[in-house]
Structure 1
Amino acid sequence: METKDSAANAYAMAIEQIESAVKYMEIETCFVDRLKTTDREVTVHLPVKMDDGTYRIFTGYRVQHCGVYGPYKGGIRYHPDTDLDEVRALAMWMTWKSAVVNIPFGGAKGGVNCNPKEMSSREIENLTRRFTWGLSNIIGPERDIPAPDVYTNPQVMAWIMDTYSILRGYAVPGVVTGKPLELGGSLGRHEATGKGVVITALQACHQLGLDPKGLTVAVQGAGNVGGVAAAAFSKAGFKVVAISDSKGGIHNPKGLDVNAVLACKNQYSCVIKPGMKGDSVTNSELLELKCDILAPCALEGVITKKNAAKVKARIIAEGANGPTTPNADKILHDKGAFVVPDILANAGGVTVSYFEWVQNLQNLLWDEEEIGRRLEKRLCSSFEEVHGIAMEKKVDMRTAALILGIGRVARALKLRGFYP
């Protein structure tokens, strides 16, 4: 995204967040130091055959942050900005996210440095299968379970599952989540992260005494998270006034026809075309629009100390991972903005991934109503816990969520101990 702060290092952000949270906790230094490091970092170099018959070498990563709570869990992204520090930070945030919603997963993340927009489906399949081969000795339904992330989708998960299953000699649907339904995927998984953003934003409205009907929302991102969130906000009675993708966005203070914008995105790979009711807006401008709720649902590091003071939204619901830098957090808190942090707001994805994993292991299939009920119950319960800590310790919601997540992982780590 054009608003991404290239100077912001995601891993440095993640470490700074830990240091801010542990000030309010009683954790021995050895456990804090342990949680700042990772269990395992794998870098693989992938020779991939392209459509013209040549081979290109891509670099991929899988970082397993902390498996003390259970099998590692985390998405795989395909993006030209992906590097090891980014993946380290994302793996760490996955650990806290799983703990905040009290799911028995550790945190992991993976990615390949590539530009899938410039690759054919066959080239992406070749890359995916080669990447799976390179990670095959560290992933598995009881070890590490990948899922979709930026520019990956159920089809990519199907290729991972198929490649892993061929290597094992039998079908292993539980090796990934976010799969197509035909291969053991869960109803409601695709929509889970975006819906979770809306569920937690509604909880924030309740805490602030705001009636959601007619509140204005700006959504940065129109993909798996942003697009779903925009549609869910509209369905819940909010007025969506802006939506963007990596090319820019559309803004109409009277409200957008969300279905028309998303249809334009699906058909033309952009959110605005001539004749649509709205004006073009850059991603930078979208963040500073007059609105009640801002939902950054794209990449990390987009709200920084340079633009945080210009953010006018009363509520920021973080659909993306790490969209707000620590310096920006301080500015937003001082101006009275209510931030629903990423490790709570976008935890719907890992929650329904957990439901999918459970269904695969037990050969179950829950209906979409059951999935939705379980998701809302868990996210609302977690929101109440985080908000309770924020009130008790007089801290912002991000610090409170970190206190909850880090505290649970640290206690589990202490109980298990260090061996040998």
Structure 2
Amino acid sequence: MSYLSYLTPTLTSPWHTYLSQVDRVLPYLGPLARWAETLKRPKRALIVDVPIEMDDGSVAHFEGYRVQHNLSRGPGKGGIRFHPDVTLEEVMALSAWMTIKCAAVNLPYGGAKGGIRVDPKKLSEKELERMTRRYTSEIGIIIGPQRDIPAPDVNTNGQIMAWMMDTYSMNTGMTATGVVTGKPLHLGGSLGRVKATGRGVFVTGREAATRIGLPLEGARIAVQGMGNVGGSAAELFVQAGARLVAVQDHSATLVNPGGFDLAKANEVLRRDGGIANYADAERVDREAFWDVECDILIPAALEGQITPERAQRIKAKLVLEGANGPTLPQADDVLADRNVLVVPDVICNAGGVTVSYFEWVQDFSSFFWSEDEINARLDRIMVDALRKIWDTADHYKISLRTATYAVACERILMAREERGLYP
């Protein structure tokens, strides 16, 4: 019996969302549809126990995961998240979205994802390091520079990637900088990586806005999640003349129709770790975020945020999915009926994995590019990918999400067919 049999995905679960998205693309796959079941079954799922000694001498156990969804186009690629709500089902969905995302921008990767069910804020730095290193040792049997390359995700960063790289290197007896991306610069990290996902959101958003005749000058932006993704995207939109009118993070929901002072907001975020103490805005109820008058909405937090009920209330003309899986399938239909354009996560937030690919390539060659070169390459890849997807959407008269899946799944399943089955 497959381990998939033990899952009971609900209508709002991330794995159910992913499966629904795959089902919608099946009519556009032609003869390749015979391989479609490949997309619904992760290749490999590893569940590990992560025991560590706490600072007080006690022993704590955490549950960790690493899922490789599909490796037909290359080694696995995907982040590691530390969060108290991490589950196998969530990590499976995130790994599957990575498969689609990498193929959508035509990177030579498959999809993978990992995580530990933990609240990292409750750990000391030494406990966090011990947990990271033990987890890395446990999943070391399936990761590697040519096998599966982790990266930062929710509540992980360059320091955690450095610990992972060092642990893997010590266990293999050689320095392997390419085993992770998102590392500190002096350990083989890439310029432009920290803001790459947010930059991708901006680039695809700029192209989409042009397509629908929405000028960025004076456009009102609402952002959920002001981390690397939402914060970087907001900064680039403001530089382009847009106005940030609403922000929601874990600490508060704030609204200012006149626009946030982004420099002051970033100072509060750096100091407090949340937006709550930003003074020049009105604090409102969390649900009121979905009623804000805006032109562009950027959900850049966690999955499952845009429900059908919330989709009815959204005032934006354009939704840019900075997070993975923020819109439920039924909500997609509501937004489409209301002529709200959604640029889906699997293309919109692919800037991060694209620059991760650049980092991986630079590590292998030990030759590093300037930030201007990286941004130019990123912009070109994102624009070209979106244009291909838009042409597909126009041809079949389908949504950008289904078009992205059509382009990506064709590439994945063609690789599957051409490789054949072994033995």
Calculate the TM-score normalised by the size of structure 1. 0.97
Is the Cα–Cα contact under 8 Å of residues 299 and 326 in structure 2 kept in the other structure? yes
Please give the alpha-carbon distance, in whole angstroms, between the structure 1 residues aligned to 2:218 and 2:121. 36
Please give the alpha-carbon distance, in whole angstroms, between the structure 1 residues aligned to 2:347 and 2:69. 18
2:402 aligns with 399
2:342 aligns with 339
SS of the residue 2:308 aligns to:
coil
Is the Cα–Cα contact under 8 Å of residues 197 and 229 in structure 2 kept in the other structure? yes
2:5 aligns with none
Of the three residues 350, 354, 357, the one matched with 1:351 is: 354
Of the three residues 197, 208, 214, the one matched with 2:212 is: 208
Please give the alpha-carbon distance, in whole angstroms, between the structure 2 residues aligned to 1:166 and 1:59. 23
Of the three residues 39, 44, 67, the one matched with 2:48 is: 44
2:411 aligns with 408
Distance 1:219 1:329, change over 3 A: same
Is the Cα–Cα contact under 8 Å of residues 325 and 345 in structure 2 kept in the other structure? yes
Which range is displaced more, 224-233 or 212-221?
224-233
Alpha-carbon offset, residue 244 of structure 1 = 2.0
1:3 aligns with none
1:67 aligns with 71
1:107 aligns with 111
Of the three residues 315, 320, 341, the one matched with 2:318 is: 315
SS of the residue 1:107 aligns to:
strand
Please give the alpha-carbon distance, in whole angstroms, between the structure 2 residues aligned to 1:27 and 1:83. 34
Calculate the TM-score normalised by the size of structure 2. 0.96
Alpha-carbon offset, residue 23 of structure 1 = 1.9
2:143 aligns with 139
Alpha-carbon offset, residue 24 of structure 1 = 2.3
Is the Cα–Cα contact under 8 Å of residues 222 and 246 in structure 2 kept in the other structure? yes
Which range is displaced more, 17-26 or 101-110?
17-26
Alpha-carbon offset, residue 143 of structure 1 = 0.3
- Residues 5-39 of structure 1 show CA distances to partners (whole Å, capped at 9, x for unaligned) of x9611001101100011122214454111111011
Alpha-carbon offset, residue 121 of structure 1 = 1.5
Please give the alpha-carbon distance, in whole angstroms, between the structure 1 residues aligned to 2:269 and 2:11. 30
Please give the alpha-carbon distance, in whole angstroms, between the structure 1 residues aligned to 2:123 and 2:254. 27
Alpha-carbon offset, residue 284 of structure 1 = 2.8
Is the Cα–Cα contact under 8 Å of residues 81 and 113 in structure 1 kept in the other structure? yes
SS of the residue 1:23 aligns to:
helix
1:371 aligns with 374
Is the Cα–Cα contact under 8 Å of residues 32 and 414 in structure 2 kept in the other structure? no
Which range is displaced more, 157-166 or 20-29?
20-29
Alpha-carbon offset, residue 71 of structure 1 = 0.6
The one-letter amino acid of 2:390's match is H
- Residues 369-406 of structure 1 show CA distances to partners (whole Å, capped at 9, x for unaligned) of 00000000000001101111111100111011111111
1:96 aligns with 100
- Residues 330-373 of structure 1 show CA distances to partners (whole Å, capped at 9, x for unaligned) of 00001000100000000000000000000001111000000000
1:289 aligns with 292
- Residues 174-199 of structure 1 show CA distances to partners (whole Å, capped at 9, x for unaligned) of 00000000100000000000111011
What's the C-alpha RMSD, in Å, of the aligned pairs? Answer: 1.2
Aligned length in residues:
414
Alpha-carbon offset, residue 282 of structure 1 = 4.1
Distance 1:27 1:220, change over 3 A: farther
Which range is displaced more, 237-246 or 340-349?
237-246
Please give the alpha-carbon distance, in whole angstroms, between the structure 2 residues aligned to 1:21 and 1:337. 20
Runs of 5+ consecutive residues of structure 1 not aligned to the other structure? 1-5
Q: Among all aligned residue pairs of Structure 1 and Structure 2, give the percentage whose two residues are the same amino acid.
A: 45
Is the Cα–Cα contact under 8 Å of residues 230 and 243 in structure 1 kept in the other structure? no
Please give the alpha-carbon distance, in whole angstroms, between the structure 1 residues aligned to 2:115 and 2:61. 14
- Residues 284-321 of structure 1 show CA distances to partners (whole Å, capped at 9, x for unaligned) of 32233110000000000000112111011100000000
Is the Cα–Cα contact under 8 Å of residues 304 and 326 in structure 2 kept in the other structure? yes
SS of the residue 2:203 aligns to:
helix
Please give the alpha-carbon distance, in whole angstroms, between the structure 1 residues aligned to 2:65 and 2:334. 33
- Residues 52-82 of structure 1 show CA distances to partners (whole Å, capped at 9, x for unaligned) of 2211110000000000000100000001110
